[in-house]
A and B are shown apart, each in its own frame.
Chain A
Amino acid sequence: MVLLTLTSAASGPCRWNGHWGRRRCHRPVAGGRRSMTALLQHPGYEDESLQRVAEQLPCREAQSAVLLSLMGQPQQYSYPSIFIYGHRASGKSHVMHVLLRELELPHATLSCVECVSGALLFQRVLLSLFGHEAAALLPRSASLSDFVRVYRQQCSLSPAEQTRFIVMEKAELLRDADANLLPALLRLQELVEDNVTVVLLSEIAWDKFRPNTGCFEPLLLHFPDYSKGELQQILSQDRHPSYSADFYSSYINILLGVFYSVCRDLRELRHLAALNFSKFCEPVAEGKVKETDTHKLWRNIEPHLKKAMQTVYLREVSSLQWEQMQQMEEKETGVVRGLSAHTHIELPYYSKFLLIAAYLASYNPARTDKRFFLKHHGKIKKTNFLKKNEKTSNHLLGPKPFPLDRLLAIFYSVVDNRVAPTASIFSQISSLVTLQLLAQVSHEDQLDAPKYKCAVSMDFICAISRTVNFDIVKYLYDFL
């Protein structure tokens, strides 16, 4: 019975132009019974190609069925524009590509990331639908008017026997193009008077696309995210041939257990699965553990996966580095050289103190300097209200800009020995700015009183101050 409900595809297309029609071809009852085994059926297309489509699209039967019914028979008109939205890696492009390829429909696929200008977009469309000669007819920087004109010319030369599809990925970038491009594309069927449908794929909802004065509303389709079971099913499909399917699915189970609460993106999970499988198989390959001993396998792989979350998942470490690390022994691995600064930066002695002074200047209010940095200070009244309202904690609001004089004043009080204000100290400040550990806030023209902001995190500065034996927490106002 479940199969039957999924077989809901077969309705025909609608002829848009005032005549909604649905044509079904001659399908005897016996054929209907046979099609119960195929999950997709449609009178306009062959069973074999639909079978191939269904095999390549696991867990997306309902959506491909709806799309098939909207596409209808090839020679019929379908809805002028369709908007498909859903999370990334939820199969939107994949389903469209498989459908268009297997059913051999004329189409043009393009990504709006590549087509930065309208002219590139028009060229690609004409190239895919009509060939080189048509694309060459476009003038240098073609406008939409030229595109429609050339398209109409080509249509009169080769009228459409089948619906032509224009599929645009990352359609949210169309909003940043010319204001007339998106409304015109939605109405393209009407403007060129041809059997063409524009399909927009995006991960952002349609409400954020609508132009001010309205437009032709496209048909909205949602591709829901994969559930945990579906992810398991899809990920288990690319299993290694030399191991059993159960072994691989227990691996996927463990992987999902660690990563599912953080990330549900199919592409990332596949990448992580591929990277870590060899480590998972290691004990089995060495003969220490049997394939069915899931508990030991889990104990072996789990810390490894947790480390992966902090490095490869965040792209701190490239996949190549990760694989190399896996091959080394555990003792030799040592510290992972990540991309962020805090793992491997080495600064000269005074630069470290300059950075510490900058951090203190950014995160302490100016009136509290007296308390921290003078030997004999008066009492500072901390009003209770300010302390309780934790939103004003500077560590939540961000660093504040400070003038150069204040930085130097704090620096001299923080550094233990006497330092002369030579050019080498000032040049170190400039190099800190180049390393983007400090940010220059004032205009570059202001030479006598430049202002800076400290751009490092708490963990980083604590690590730095530990290397010079300086207890920075004692000097921070927020931690009093």
Chain B
Amino acid sequence: MSKRTAKDAHLPVGECVTQVGINQDLSSVYNFSDAQELHLLELLKRTAIHGESNSVLIVGPRGAGKTMLLKCVLRDLLEDKEAQKSLLQVHLNGLLQTDDRIALKEITRQLHLENVVGDKVFGSFAENLGFLLEALKKGDRSSSRPVLFILDEFDLFAHHKNQTLLYNLFDVSQSAQAPIAVVGITCRLDVLELLEKRVKSRFSHRQIHLLSSLTFTQYLERVRTQLSLPDGFPDSRFAQDWNDGVKTLCGDKSVEEVLQRHYNSSKDVRSLHMLLMLCLSRVSVAKPAIKPADLLEASRLCFADAKANMLHGLSILELCLIIAMKHLNDVYEGEPFNHQMVHNEFKKFLQRKSNSMYNFEQPVILKAFEHLQQLELIRPVDGSSAKTQREYQLMRLMLDHSQIMEALQKYPQCPTDVKQWAMSAFG
């Protein structure tokens, strides 16, 4: 015991942390209320235990905790012995099962009925599904086992031909064939508009909306709880120091401003996790404490403009071409341009300058122009690239005025005459 504490005691840098955890139980992180959880649990219990058919949709933006809600509910549901014995689950995903045929094969597989189906050929989807559900009937032929269908990315199923799968599933849930529960998870709030009339009428119109309603103080509190180490941490002194560091971090003014900015742009948990993760990746063996500068740096990385980063790496010739395009956009108010026009504009700039440092041949300038096209900083106006020559194809600039000016400020060793040209209003 003493040896262990001695070992723990002299771990300032070294063996320091065995685990710096962000708060482990994610269900408390996500913002679904107990009422919603109970509602869903009740619904599924009625199917699993009492044999009632139900359908429900869980709707919420990305990262709101829909799958997490379902996992928690399933975990609670399977604690019940009877449900655990008889409930069957089928998990389908709109991204994977892109076709009703594939979906049916997957259902057969997950219900372990491949041998039963064997080589049978069915006339229609409904027949096939009916056969599968028949096959699940319990020994005394009284009732079938309850099946839980979970459809992830539900809106993608609505794009299948005739929405056959959805129609049949909802049909079974409305008629007294077999007790099934259909739970759809989707990120689209207008998912009901996507359903056909006959499908919509068979749906029970039960929706659970998960919309985040965090206030800023709750957000800050979340940051603090997520970064703190739990009580059961082996090295208690380190945990104490760490938690104190986290407290000072959360009290810091600049940190609060940065978190306010993040909160204003998106309240969801995933972007918060990304920010905290980038922040924690700067903690190292050499530096085992968390500082406000870490969070500020992580925030800067999160908010960095990708296009500005790419502009930083362009050659001077390409930068001059972009400035020429900006001038063309200013003069002709956003009309598309082609390579010849940009070249002409660039030549006008060169004429004013006495030194011929940028006096390149036309093909070299065309190669620079093509490089910009490959980076998708400029894009052709329409797809008819076969008919027109390369030099005369019309393009648009995909950059904003302010992005270009900002990039110019940060460009390393930008020549002053180029900068002045960019600042001047016309030509």
Which A residues lie at the B interface, using CB under 8 A?
4, 7-12, 14, 18-24, 26-29, 31-32, 35, 41, 43, 66, 69-70, 79, 85-87, 90, 143-145, 148-149, 178, 180, 183-184, 187, 191, 203-208, 213-217, 219-220, 222, 224-225, 227-228, 260-264, 309-310, 313-314, 316, 340, 390-391, 395-399, 439, 441, 455, 457, 459
CB pair B274–A219 under 8 Å, yes or no, is yes
Shortest beta-carbon distance, B163 to chain A, in Å?
A: 17
CA of A372 to CA of B306 in the docked complex: distance in angstroms? 54
A-B contact pairs, 7 of them (CB 8 A): A86-B310, A86-B313, A87-B310, A222-B304, A260-B316, A262-B360, A396-B340
CB pair A205–B306 under 8 Å, yes or no, is yes
CB pair B306–A11 under 8 Å, yes or no, is no
Shortest beta-carbon distance, A41 to chain B, in Å?
A: 7
Task: Compute the total of residue contacts between A and B using a CB distance below 8 Å.
Answer: 202
Asked whether A26 and B364 contact (CB < 8 A) given A11-B282, A191-B93, the answer is no
CB pair B338–A398 under 8 Å, yes or no, is yes
Q: A183-B95, A396-B341 are in contact. List 16 more A-B contacts (CB 8 A).
A: A8-B287, A20-B273, A143-B96, A143-B102, A145-B106, A187-B95, A205-B307, A207-B307, A219-B274, A262-B360, A309-B364, A313-B367, A314-B363, A397-B392, A398-B340, A459-B362
CA of A329 to CA of B262 in the docked complex: distance in angstroms? 66
Name the B residues within 8 Å of A144 (CB-CB). 95-96, 98
Select which of A35, A213, A227 is within 8 A of B188 by beta carbon.
A213
Asked whether A261 and B317 contact (CB < 8 A) given A143-B98, A144-B96, the answer is yes
B376 contacts partner chain A, Cβ-Cβ < 8 Å: yes
CB pair B13–A29 under 8 Å, yes or no, is yes
Q: Find the B residue at minimum CB distance from A9.
A: B284
Name the A residues within 8 Å of B374 (CB-CB). 203
B218 contacts partner chain A, Cβ-Cβ < 8 Å: no
CB pair B16–A263 under 8 Å, yes or no, is no
CB pair B24–A18 under 8 Å, yes or no, is yes
Name the A residues within 8 Å of B10 (CB-CB). 29
Name the A residues within 8 Å of B313 (CB-CB). 86-87, 90, 224-225, 264
Q: Find the A residue at minimum CB distance from B15.
A: A26
CA of A309 to CA of B389 in the docked complex: distance in angstroms? 23
Asked whether A4 and B285 contact (CB < 8 A) given A224-B309, A314-B367, A398-B392, the answer is no
Select which of B15, B18, B364, B375 is within 8 A of A310 by beta carbon.
B364
CB pair B375–A145 under 8 Å, yes or no, is no
CA of A263 to CA of B367 in the docked complex: distance in angstroms? 10
List B270-318 residues whose CB lies under 8 Å from chain A: 270-271, 273-274, 277-278, 280-287, 304, 306-307, 309-310, 312-317
List B63-78 residues whose CB lies under 8 Å from chain A: none
Shortest beta-carbon distance, A362 to chain B, in Å?
A: 11
Shortest beta-carbon distance, A335 to chain B, in Å?
A: 16
Q: Find the A residue at minimum CB distance from B376.
A: A204
Name the B residues within 8 Å of A41 (CB-CB). 285
CB pair A7–B96 under 8 Å, yes or no, is no
Name the A residues within 8 Å of B309 (CB-CB). 85-86, 205, 222, 224
CB pair B340–A395 under 8 Å, yes or no, is yes
Shortest beta-carbon distance, A212 to chain B, in Å?
A: 10
CA of A455 to CA of B387 in the docked complex: distance in angstroms? 10
Select which of B62, B93, B98, B363 is within 8 A of A214 by beta carbon.
B62
Shortest beta-carbon distance, B313 to chain A, in Å?
A: 3
Shortest beta-carbon distance, B355 to chain A, in Å?
A: 12
Shortest beta-carbon distance, A315 to chain B, in Å?
A: 9
CB pair A19–B285 under 8 Å, yes or no, is no
Q: Find the B residue at minimum CB distance from A205.
A: B306
CB pair A396–B286 under 8 Å, yes or no, is no
Which B residues lie at the A interface, using CB under 8 A?
10, 12-22, 24-26, 61-62, 93-99, 102, 106, 109, 155-156, 187-188, 270-271, 273-274, 277-278, 280-287, 304, 306-307, 309-310, 312-317, 332, 338, 340-341, 344, 357-358, 360-364, 367-368, 374-376, 387-389, 391-392, 412-413
Name the A residues within 8 Å of B388 (CB-CB). 398
CA of A26 to CA of B364 in the docked complex: distance in angstroms? 57
Q: Find the A residue at minimum CB distance from B103.
A: A145
CB pair A214–B13 under 8 Å, yes or no, is no
CA of A9 to CA of B360 in the docked complex: distance in angstroms? 44
Q: Find the A residue at minimum CB distance from B314.
A: A264
CB pair B306–A220 under 8 Å, yes or no, is yes
Name the B residues within 8 Å of A316 (CB-CB). 363
CB pair A261–B315 under 8 Å, yes or no, is yes
Shortest beta-carbon distance, A479 to chain B, in Å?
A: 14
Q: Is chain B's interface secondary structure helix, strand, loop, or mixed overall?
A: loop
Name the B residues within 8 Å of A310 (CB-CB). 361, 363-364
CB pair B25–A18 under 8 Å, yes or no, is yes
Q: Find the B residue at minimum CB distance from A144.
A: B96
CA of A206 to CA of B309 in the docked complex: distance in angstroms? 12
Select which of B102, B106, B109, B375 is within 8 A of A204 by beta carbon.
B375
Asked whether A180 and B283 contact (CB < 8 A) given A27-B15, A396-B340, the answer is no
Asked whether A14 and B277 contact (CB < 8 A) given A32-B285, A144-B95, the answer is yes
CB pair B364–A313 under 8 Å, yes or no, is yes
CB pair A29–B271 under 8 Å, yes or no, is no
Asked whether A22 and B315 contact (CB < 8 A) given A32-B13, A455-B389, the answer is no
Shortest beta-carbon distance, A202 to chain B, in Å?
A: 10
CB pair A26–B14 under 8 Å, yes or no, is yes
Q: Find the B residue at minimum CB distance from A340.
A: B363
CB pair A399–B315 under 8 Å, yes or no, is no
Select which of A20, A222, A313 is within 8 A of B277 by beta carbon.
A20
CB pair A184–B281 under 8 Å, yes or no, is no
Name the A residues within 8 Å of B282 (CB-CB). 8, 11
Asked whether A11 and B283 contact (CB < 8 A) given A22-B19, A23-B18, A227-B412, the answer is yes
CB pair A23–B341 under 8 Å, yes or no, is no
Q: Find the A residue at minimum CB distance from B19.
A: A21
Q: Find the A residue at minimum CB distance from B285.
A: A10
CA of A396 to CA of B331 in the docked complex: distance in angstroms? 15
Name the B residues within 8 Å of A214 (CB-CB). 61-62, 187
CA of A29 to CA of B119 in the docked complex: distance in angstroms? 67
Asked whether A24 and B106 contact (CB < 8 A) given A18-B26, A264-B313, the answer is no
CA of A389 to CA of B93 in the docked complex: distance in angstroms? 59
CB pair B15–A22 under 8 Å, yes or no, is no
Shortest beta-carbon distance, B5 to chain A, in Å?
A: 16
CB pair B340–A24 under 8 Å, yes or no, is no
CA of A205 to CA of B309 in the docked complex: distance in angstroms? 9
Asked whether A7 and B98 contact (CB < 8 A) given A222-B304, A262-B360, the answer is no
Shortest beta-carbon distance, A443 to chain B, in Å?
A: 12
Q: Find the A residue at minimum CB distance from B286.
A: A7
Name the B residues within 8 Å of A313 (CB-CB). 364, 367
Can you list the 8 inter-chain pairs with the closest CB atoms, starting with the nearest?
A225-B313, A398-B392, A205-B306, A20-B22, A18-B26, A10-B284, A69-B281, A261-B316
Name the A residues within 8 Å of B387 (CB-CB). 439, 441
Select which of A20, A206, A261, A390 is within 8 A of B306 by beta carbon.
A206
Name the B residues within 8 Å of A32 (CB-CB). 13-14, 285-286
Name the B residues within 8 Å of A459 (CB-CB). 362
